[in-house]
């Protein structure tokens, strides 16, 4: 290992020499569709987005997936690259990245049967469980034509100035569909034996190498663990990797899990670096560099994985939404103040799945770089921010950075507000990072933070501006017996750690009800082997797809009832891309959900409820109330009486539909405006 000027992370900052080109460090920004691809002015916005990450010194950027033809669209009219005029638009991106000495490869993605449109095609006519469109079976001529389209797409990427391409061969998209008997039932030269099933992938890679010459980066994203029944065996995965190397790829990236897999692969409850064991297993099989990926979100983990020899490069995708300057900041060693991706999916993937532009809960500026440029204040003021939850922390830090004199008051002994309780939930331990990040930003910006101070309106008379970010208070529903000693609030359980019995009823099946159920079931964050066993992943890789015959779920420590008054699906409003995981988790642990409940009374015996036209007594030791919140606005009357104007943000403004995403973005927007 050569001496590195960045001794805290010497492996990260060791350049990677590919012979014809050199990557300046071992961190790659993984491919992410942002929604800008199809946006008006999308190329200008993507150019600014990628340029900022290049300026942040990432070693290599991979763009979001670009289709090689219309059949390969992810959705109707999504981005494709089939003509020189389209290639010219991409030059905005490549020029912007190269101006900052960055390197960028374009991902070629043919969605196959995941294409959400009627033109979608696949090796066989088998519908995916996550799409309503049945694909058309590709003819032999169609297959040959599609290979040519991949090569044409790579040629146009080269014309557009990209340093190379990444060929998307994983996550269950077209190339992956050819590889496995799950989706390939063909009996011609493209199906049957593994040699035949591999042919499509290999002809694409060798065709692109032949067309592009030796000085063009080819990354192949290889599905190392399909996590679907009838997926690849480990032996097949290894054979493919060796053949891909021979076909001319420079780097192999790790793909984990098809989109239809029922195993969480990137959500917050996946242990950090939880799937790197798969890449490590491949290390001894090929000689070209390997990239490992999935839930790696800090330089510490990246360094550790590189040092252990698990991989040659680390891919992080969402962490670059959270912080464009992750790599540059890592140069300052463990004292860095990186804004850590907390794996929530709330503003990135959940946005995309609801047709919105991606962004980031902890960094709402992500993908909005051209629209959101914060300027120093021309008239610095003396500003009080009341409340140190996500809204208040975000607002106060940006105000202070703009030159205002800011005092942030928090009644608790520490910052974080309701988010402090989120950190207690197993699998949400990374949420602490957000509090750490904003706390440090407050110090660095010169804001004065006053904790243990519950302010009154009279404390605020001397300020030029007042921001009320006093958040929310848990709701106590009016049920007879609600003041019984059996009854606990969620802060009693999560913050004050009051003892909870073996049989529990939770009132309210929203986000917090689900989180409290997980807390009562688990209490500790899982290590990698327990997580894999619980979700049915076979770390010995004996079966096709890397799945166990049966998940190994430990017996739950408690019997839990999760109750709600409405009749809809419990947890129906949880995140689009994570709700299914929470619902599966509590189901696997035997939590009984009851809907359409009327709460009759709480007594020494438990809680009496009516549902489905019957009255039932749930004999429980405790009842935990997770029945939403109301805005904490007790200051407003005093402020009005004293004629003090104030701004109001986050939960204090509106408790309904509140989450940290809204709280932080309202805080930032106001902070940028005053
Ligand atoms: P709060 O967080 O309520 O902060 C308000 C702060 O103001 C508090 O610290 C309070 O002490 C202080 N304060 C109030 N009055 C005064 C006063 N007079 N003087 C001084 N200080 C005062 N959100 C998500 O987006 N994703 C999640 O996964 C998620 N999980 C959660 C899990 C749990 C268990 C909980 C409890 C919440 C979770 N949330 C989650 C919700 C998220 O924490 C809240 O939406 C967010 O904290 C609201 O931010 P806020 O700043 O508006 O209010
Ligand atoms: P919530 O999601 O709105 O759920 C509140 C629950 O309380 C519902 O089940 C509601 O259902 C019930 N309820 C409401 N009023 C009641 C009353 N008077 N009596 C009895 N039950 C009542 O709110 P939350 O769970 O408190 O979460 C707060 C916010 O934090 C949410 O908006 C959420 O976005 C965020 N959060 C997100 C996550 C995540 O994983 N993304 C996790 C935790 C929290 P019924 O009316 O049907 O009974
Ligand atoms: Fe990470 Fe959440 Fe931001 Fe997505 S929204 S990038 S998961 S912190």
- Averaged pLDDT, 556-580: 94
- Averaged pLDDT, 418-432: 95
Pocket test for ligand 2, best of 562, 628, 655 (most atoms within 8 A of CB): 628
pLDDT band at 228 (very low <50, low <70, confident <90, very high): very high
Q: Report which protein residue has its CA nearest ligand 3's atom 2.
A: 344
- Please report the pLDDT score of residue 256 as a whole number: 98
Q: What is the C-alpha separation between 170 and 183, in angstroms, rounded?
A: 13
- Please report the pLDDT score of residue 567 as a whole number: 95
Q: What is the C-alpha separation between 91 and 217, in angstroms, rounded?
A: 17
Q: Give me ligand 2 centre to Cα 574, in Å.
A: 10
Q: DSSP states of 60-71 as a string? A: EEEEEEEBSSGG
pLDDT band at 332 (very low <50, low <70, confident <90, very high): confident
pLDDT band at 522 (very low <50, low <70, confident <90, very high): confident
Residue 336 confidence (pLDDT) above 90: no
Q: How far is CA 520 from CA 90, 528, 653, in A?
A: 51, 20, 31
Tokens of 108: 């070629």
Residue 1 confidence (pLDDT) above 90: no
- Averaged pLDDT, 664-672: 97
Pocket test for ligand 1, best of 422, 439, 488, 490 (most atoms within 8 A of CB): 422
- Please report the pLDDT score of residue 5 as a whole number: 55
- Please report the pLDDT score of residue 554 as a whole number: 85
Tokens of 32: 């992410």
- Please report the pLDDT score of residue 3 as a whole number: 46
Q: Give me ligand 3 centre to Cα 574, in Å.
A: 15
Q: How far is CA 36 from CA 40, 44, 356, in A?
A: 8, 9, 9
- Averaged pLDDT, 313-340: 95
Extended strands (E) in 30-169 = 60-66, 104-108, 121-122, 136-137, 164-169
pLDDT in tens, 2-36: 445 567 999 999 999 999 999 999 999 999 999 99
Q: Is the pTM of this model over 0.85?
A: yes
pLDDT in tens, 78-93: 999 999 999 999 999 9
Largest CA distance in the chain: 82
- Please report the pLDDT score of residue 104 as a whole number: 98
- Please report the pLDDT score of residue 206 as a whole number: 98
Residue 606 confidence (pLDDT) above 80: yes
pLDDT in tens, 249-298: 999 999 999 999 999 999 999 999 999 999 999 999 999 999 999 999 99
Residue 322 confidence (pLDDT) above 70: yes
What integer best gives the mean pLDDT of the chain? 96
Q: Which atom of ligand 3 is found nearest the CA of 346?
A: 5
* Percent of the chain's residues with pLDDT above 90: 95
Chain centre to alpha carbon of residue 94: 26
Residue 214 neighbours by CB distance under 10 Å: 9
Tokens of 62: 């991979």
599 flagged as catalytic: no
- Averaged pLDDT, 51-79: 97
For the chain, how big is the Rg over CA atoms in Å?
A: 26
- Please report the pLDDT score of residue 575 as a whole number: 92
Could you tell me if the CB of 243 is within 6 A of ligand 1?
no
pLDDT in tens, 450-492: 999 999 999 999 999 999 999 999 999 999 999 999 999 999 9
User: What is the phi/psi pair of residue 301, to 5°?
Assistant: -65, -40
- Please report the pLDDT score of residue 611 as a whole number: 96
Give the domains, in start order, of the chain with CATH numbers. 16-353 (3.20.20.70), 382-474+631-673 (3.40.50.720), 487-522+557-627 (3.50.50.60)
Could you tell me if the CB of 474 is within 6 A of ligand 1?
no
């Amino acid at each position: 290992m050569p001496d590195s000027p960045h001794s805290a992370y010497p492996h990260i900052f060791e350049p990677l020499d590919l012979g014809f080109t050199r990557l300046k460090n071992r961190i790659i920004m993984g491919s992410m569709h942002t929604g800008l691809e199809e946006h008006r002015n999308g190329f200008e916005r993507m150019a600014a987005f990628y340029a900022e990450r290049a300026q942040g010194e990432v070693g290599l950027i991979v763009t979001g997936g670009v289709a090689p033809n219309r059949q390969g669209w992810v959705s109707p009219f999504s981005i494709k690259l089939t003509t020189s005029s389209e290639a010219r638009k991409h030059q905005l991106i490549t020029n912007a990245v190269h101006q900052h000495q960055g390197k960028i490869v374009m991902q070629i993605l043919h969605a196959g049967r995941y294409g959400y449109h009627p033109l979608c095609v696949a090796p066989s006519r088998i519908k995916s469980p996550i799409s309503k469109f049945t694909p058309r079976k590709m003819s032999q001529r169609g297959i040959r034509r599609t290979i040519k389209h991949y090569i044409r797409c790579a040629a146009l990427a080269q014309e557009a100035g990209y340093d190379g391409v990444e060929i998307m061969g994983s996550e269950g998209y077209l190339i992956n569909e050819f590889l496995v008997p799950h989706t390939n039932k063909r009996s011609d030269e493209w199906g049957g034996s593994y040699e035949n099933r591999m042919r499509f992938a290999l002809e694409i890679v060798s065709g692109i190498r032949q067309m592009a010459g030796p000085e063009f980066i080819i990354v192949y994203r290889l599905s190392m663990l399909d996590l679907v029944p009838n997926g690849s065996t480990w032996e097949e995965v290894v054979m493919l990797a060796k053949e891909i190397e021979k076909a001319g790829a420079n780097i192999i990236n790790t793909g984990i899990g098809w989109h239809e897999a029922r195993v969480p692969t990137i959500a917050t409850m996946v242990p950090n670096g939880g799937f790197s064991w798969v890449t490590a297993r491949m290390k001894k099989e090929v000689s070209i560099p390997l990239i490992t990926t999935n839930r790696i979100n800090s330089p510490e983990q990246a360094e550790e994985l590189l040092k252990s020899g698990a991989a040659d490069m680390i891919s992080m995708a969402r962490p670059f939404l959270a912080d464009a300057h992750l790599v540059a900041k890592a140069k300052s060693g463990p004292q860095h103040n990186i804004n850590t991706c907390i794996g929530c999916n709330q503003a990135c993937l959940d946005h995309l799945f609801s047709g919105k532009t991606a962004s980031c809960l902890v960094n709402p500026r992500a993908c909005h770089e051209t629209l959101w440029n914060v300027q120093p204040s021309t008239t610095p003021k003396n500003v009080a921010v009341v409340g140190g939850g996500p809204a208040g922390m975000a607002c106060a830090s940006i105000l202070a950075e703009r030159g205002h004199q800011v005092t942030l008051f928090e009644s608790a002994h520490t910052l974080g507000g309701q988010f402090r309780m989120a950190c207690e939930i197993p699998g949400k331990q990374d949420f602490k990072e957000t509090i750490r990040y904003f706390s440090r930003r407050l110090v660095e910006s010169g804001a004065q933070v006053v904790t243990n101070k519950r302010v009154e309106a009279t404390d605020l008379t001397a300020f030029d501006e007042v921001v009320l970010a006093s958040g929310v208070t848990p709701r106590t529903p009016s049920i007879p017996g609600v003041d019984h000693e059996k009854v606990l609030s969620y802060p009693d359980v999560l913050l004050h750690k009051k003892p909870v019995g073996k049989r529990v009823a939770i009132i309210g099946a929203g986000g917090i009800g689900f989180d409290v159920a997980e807390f009562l079931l688990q209490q500790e964050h899982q290590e990698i082997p327990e997580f894999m066993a619980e979700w049915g992943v076979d770390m010995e890789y004996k079966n096709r797809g890397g799945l166990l015959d049966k998940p190994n779920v430990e017996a739950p420590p408690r019997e839990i009832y999760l109750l709600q008054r409405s009749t809809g699906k419990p947890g129906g409003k949880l995140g689009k891309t994570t709700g299914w995981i929470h619902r599966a988790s509590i189901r696997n642990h035997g939590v009984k959900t009851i809907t359409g409940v009327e709460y009759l009374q709480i007594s020494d015996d438990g809680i009496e409820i009516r549902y489905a036209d019957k009255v039932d007594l749930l004999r429980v030791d405790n009842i935990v109330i997770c029945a939403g919140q109301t805005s904490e606005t007790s200051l407003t009357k005093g402020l009005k009486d004293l004629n003090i104007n104030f701004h109001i943000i986050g939960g204090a403004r509106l408790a309904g539909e509140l989450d940290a995403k809204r709280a932080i973005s309202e805080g930032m927007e106001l902070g940028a405006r005053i």
